[in-house]
C-alpha cells in the first residue's frame, strides 16, 4: 500500500485542502515517487494519519479519479493507475503538458528486441554479466569517445565515465566539486532535479536568469565577478523548462567569462540531438579552448528512459575523481543496458530513431507554436524553441499559472506551473508546456483550452487589482 503519511498540507493557502492533497498525490504519482498499481490507504486511515476530515480525503480521491490518476474498485479500495492505463483512460478527455518525456508509443520496440537478443546471444554476454569497471563498459566508452573525437568534441586529453543517466552525472559532480557551501551558478528557471542535487550536496546556488536566447550573459558576468563560483551548469540547447538555445555569440561569451573568473562549465547536453529546425550549433566543449568544459550526455532522452545510461566527458583528471566517487556510489553502471544501447547506436537504429523523432518533433513544434500564436490572449509571451520538448509561457499579470491550472484541469488539461522551476521560488506567472509526448491535434486542442481558460480568468480579474511587476523573463 502507498505510504502517504509524509504529506504536509498548508491550511494557510488559498487552495482548498482536498485539492492540495490531490495535487500532492498526483505529483508523487507523476514523479514516480509512489508506485503505479498500488493501493491507496482507506480514506479513514489517511484522514487519521494526516489529521484531516475524512470527507476531505474522499473529495481528494474523487478528484484524482476524475483526473485519471486512480481508480476505485468496489470492495477493494482505490488504486493508482499505471501511467499507460491513465493515458488510455484519458485519451479523449485529458491532455497533459506536464511530462518532459519522449513519446513511449514511438519507441522502436522491434529494433530493441532484435538488437537486445543479438547482445544476449553474443560471446560478450559472459563478460557483461561479470563485475565491470567503474568507468563503464569499455566498448561503449570507446564508441562514445571515438564518436566525440570525430566531431571535434573530445580531445586526446579527455576521458569518459558512464553514469546511470544524466542525473547521476550531476550527482557525482555535485559530490566531488560542489560540497561545503561552494557556489554553483545555475539557470533560472531550471530543471528541478538539478536544483535538488546541488542543494543536497550543500552547494550555494546562484540563479542566473534565462531569456529566449538562454542564459543572460550580462547577469552572468556580474554573478561570476561577485561570487567566483566553482561551477556553472548550463543547458545550451533546448533548455528545460524554457526550450531556449544559446546562440553562438553567447556560447563564446560564456566560455570567455568562465575562463576569466576561473569557473568550470558543466554543459548539460541531453537535448541537442532533438533539433527540428535551424542550424546545429557547436557544443561549448568543442568551442572551449581551455579544455576545461565538462560535457554531460545521455541516451535516455533520445531512446529508452528506463535504461539508465548517460555519461560525463571531461579532462582525464576530472574523470579519475568522478570514477572514484562512482565506485563508492555503486561500483559501476549496469552492463546489460550499456551493451544493448551500444548495439543500438552501432547498428544505425539510434540514428534512424533520432531522425524519426526529429520529424515527429517538427510537427509537434509547429502545432504548439501555431496554437500559441492563435489562442493565447494578448499580453501572453512564450518562447519559440527550435527543438527539444519544452516551451515556456509567461502569462499577463496578474494572472498566475496556479489560477490558470485550476481552471484548465476542470477542462482536462494540465501542465507544470513555473514555481516548480524557480531556483529560489518565483515564476508564478510562468508555465512549462511539454509537448514531446502528444499528437499535434492534442497539442492544438490543449493550447486552445489553455488560451480560453486564460481569457476567462483574465476577464474575472477586477480592473483595479494591484498589478505585479512584469517578470524579466521572455
88 versus 222: smaller Cβ distance to a copy of itself: 88
Name which of 249 and 324 has its Cβ closer to a copy of itself.
Answer: 324
Q: Least distance to a copy of itself from the beta carbon of 271, Å?
A: 16
Q: Quick one: which of 50, 116, 270, 296 contacts a copy of itself (CB under 8 A)?
A: 116
Binding flag, residue 12, a copy of itself (CB under 8 A) = no
Q: Determine if 302 is a binding residue for a copy of itself (CB under 8 A).
A: no
* Minimum distance from residue 141 beta carbon to a copy of itself (Å): 7
Enumerate residues 43-82 that contact a copy of itself by CB under 8 A.
82
Q: Count CB neighbours of 142 within 10 A.
A: 13
Q: Which of 77, 282, 305, 426 binds a copy of itself (CB under 8 A)?
A: 305
Site membership for a copy of itself, residue 96 (CB under 8 A): no
Measure the CA–CA gap between 448 and 442, rounded to whole angstroms. 10
The HSE-up count of residue 139 (CA atoms within 13 Å, CB side) is: 17
C-beta of 380: minimal distance to a copy of itself in Å? 30
464 binds a copy of itself (CB under 8 A): no
Stretch that binds a copy of itself, among 334-342, 350-358, 395-403, 457-465 (CB under 8 A): 334-342
Angle subtended by helix axes 440-460 and 349-375, to nearest 10: 30
Of 135, 205, 413, 474, the one binding a copy of itself (CB under 8 A) is 135
Binder among 316, 363, 410, 456 for a copy of itself (CB under 8 A) = 316
List 13, 84, 351, 467, residue binding a copy of itself (CB under 8 A) = 84
CB of 338 to a copy of itself, least distance (A): 9
Query: In the range 199-258, which residues lie near a copy of itself by CB under 8 A?
Result: 200
130 binds a copy of itself (CB under 8 A): yes
The candidate with the shortest Cα–Cα distance to 395, out of 438, 353, 451, 436, is 451
Geometric angle at alpha carbon 291, from 342 and 252, rounded to 5°: 105
Q: Restricting to residues 154-173, which ones interact with a copy of itself according to CB under 8 A? A: 159, 163-165, 167-168, 171
110: how many CB neighbours lie within 10 A of its CB? Answer: 9
Binding flag, residue 113, a copy of itself (CB under 8 A): yes
Asked if 106 touches a copy of itself (CB under 8 A), the answer is: no
Say whether residue 336 binds a copy of itself (CB under 8 A). Answer: yes
Q: What is the DSSP letter of 423?
A: B
Q: How far is the CB of 163 from a copy of itself (least distance, A)?
A: 7
- Give the three-state DSSP class for 312: strand
Give the shortest CB-472-to-a copy of itself separation in angstroms.
29
Q: Taking CB under 8 A as the rule, does residue 465 contact a copy of itself?
A: no
Q: With binding defined as CB under 8 A, does residue 124 bind a copy of itself?
A: no
Task: Give the nearest distance from C-beta 422 to a copy of itself in angstroms.
Answer: 18
Nearest to 318, CA basis, from 155, 184, 167: 155
- State which of positions 340-359 bind a copy of itself (CB under 8 A): 340
Q: For 268, phi and psi rounded to 5 degrees?
A: -90, 95
Q: Which of 88, 57, 72, 69 is nearest to 31 (CA)?
A: 69
Which residues in 26-45 contact a copy of itself (CB under 8 A)? Answer: 31-38
Residues 6 or more apart whose CB falls under 8 angstroms from that of 96 comprise: 90, 413, 414, 415, 437, 438
DSSP H helices in 70-191: 83-89, 109-121, 125-129, 138-150, 165-177
Of residues 415-444, those binding a copy of itself (CB under 8 A): none
Alpha helices in 180-334 (DSSP H): 192-201, 217-227, 248-261, 284-287, 316-330
Question: What residues are paired with 188 via a beta bridge?
Answer: 209
Applying the rule CB under 8 A, the residues between 170 and 189 that interact with a copy of itself are 171
What is the DSSP secondary structure assignment for residue 33, as one 8-state letter?
S
For position 128 contacting a copy of itself by CB under 8 A, the verdict is yes
Q: Quote the CA–CA distance of 47 and 221 in Å, as a whole number.
A: 51
| Alpha carbons 436 and 441: distance in angstroms, whole number | 13
Binder of a copy of itself out of 106, 109, 248, 351 (CB under 8 A): 109
Query: What's phi and psi for 23, nearest 5 deg?
Result: -60, -45
Amino acid at each position: 500500500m502507498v505510504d502517504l503519511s509524509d504529506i504536509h498540507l498548508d491550511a494557510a493557502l488559498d487552495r482548498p485542502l482536498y485539492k492540495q492533497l490531490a495535487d500532492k498525490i498526483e505529483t508523487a504519482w507523476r514523479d514516480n515517487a509512489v508506485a503505479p498499481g498500488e493501493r491507496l490507504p482507506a480514506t479513514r486511515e489517511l484522514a487519521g494519519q494526516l489529521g484531516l476530515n475524512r470527507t476531505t480525503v474522499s473529495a481528494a480521491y474523487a478528484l484524482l479519479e476524475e483526473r485519471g490518476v486512480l481508480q476505485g474498485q468496489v470492495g477493494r479500495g482505490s488504486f493508482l493507475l499505471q501511467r499507460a492505463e491513465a493515458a488510455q483512460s484519458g485519451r479523449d478527455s485529458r491532455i497533459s503538458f506536464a511530462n518532459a518525456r519522449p513519446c513511449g508509443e514511438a519507441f522502436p520496440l522491434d529494433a530493441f528486441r532484435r538488437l537486445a537478443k543479438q547482445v544476449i546471444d553474443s560471446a560478450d554476454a559472459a563478460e557483461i554479466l561479470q563485475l565491470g569497471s567503474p568507468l563503464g563498459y569499455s566498448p561503449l566508452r570507446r564508441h562514445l569517445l571515438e564518436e566525440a573525437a570525430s566531431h571535434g568534441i573530445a580531445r586526446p586529453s579527455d576521458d569518459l565515465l558512464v553514469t546511470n543517466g544524466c542525473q547521476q552525472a550531476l550527482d557525482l559532480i555535485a559530490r566531488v566539486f560542489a560540497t561545503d557551501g561552494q557556489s554553483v551558478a545555475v539557470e533560472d528557471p531550471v530543471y528541478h532535479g538539478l536544483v535538488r542535487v546541488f542543494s543536497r550536496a550543500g552547494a550555494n546556488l546562484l540563479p542566473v536568469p534565462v531569456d529566449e536566447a538562454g542564459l543572460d550573459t550580462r547577469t552572468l558576468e556580474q554573478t561570476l565577478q561577485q561570487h567566483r563560483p566553482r561551477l556553472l551548469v548550463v543547458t545550451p540547447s533546448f533548455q528545460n523548462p524554457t526550450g531556449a538555445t544559446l546562440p553562438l555569440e553567447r556560447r563564446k561569451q560564456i566560455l570567455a567569462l568562465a575562463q576569466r573568473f576561473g569557473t568550470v562549465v558543466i554543459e548539460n547536453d541531453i537535448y541537442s540531438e532533438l533539433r527540428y529546425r535551424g542550424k546545429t550549433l557547436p557544443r561549448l566543449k568543442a568551442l572551449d579552448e581551455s579544455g576545461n568544459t565538462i560535457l554531460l550526455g545521455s541516451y535516455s532522452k533520445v531512446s529508452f528512459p528506463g535504461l539508465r545510461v548517460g555519461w560525463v566527458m571531461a579532462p582525464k583528471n576530472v574523470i579519475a575523481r568522478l570514477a572514484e566517487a562512482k565506485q563508492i556510489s555503486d561500483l559501476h553502471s549496469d552492463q546489460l543496458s550499456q551493451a544493448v544501447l551500444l548495439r543500438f547506436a552501432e547498428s544505425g537504429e539510434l540514428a534512424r530513431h533520432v531522425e524519426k523523432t526529429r520529424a515527429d518533433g517538427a510537427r509537434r513544434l509547429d502545432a504548439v507554436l501555431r496554437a500559441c500564436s492563435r489562442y493565447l490572449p494578448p499580453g501572453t509571451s512564450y518562447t519559440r524553441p527550435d527543438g527539444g520538448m519544452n516551451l515556456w509561457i509567461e502569462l499577463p499579470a496578474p494572472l498566475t499559472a496556479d489560477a490558470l491550472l485550476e481552471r484548465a484541469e476542470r477542462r482536462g488539461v494540465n501542465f507544470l506551473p513555473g514555481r516548480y522551476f524557480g531556483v529560489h521560488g518565483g515564476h508564478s506567472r510562468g508555465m512549462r508546456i511539454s509537448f514531446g509526448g502528444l499528437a499535434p491535434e492534442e497539442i492544438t486542442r490543449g493550447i486552445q483550452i489553455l488560451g480560453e481558460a486564460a481569457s476567462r480568468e483574465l476577464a474575472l480579474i477586477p480592473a483595479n487589482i494591484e498589478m505585479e511587476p512584469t517578470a524579466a523573463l521572455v
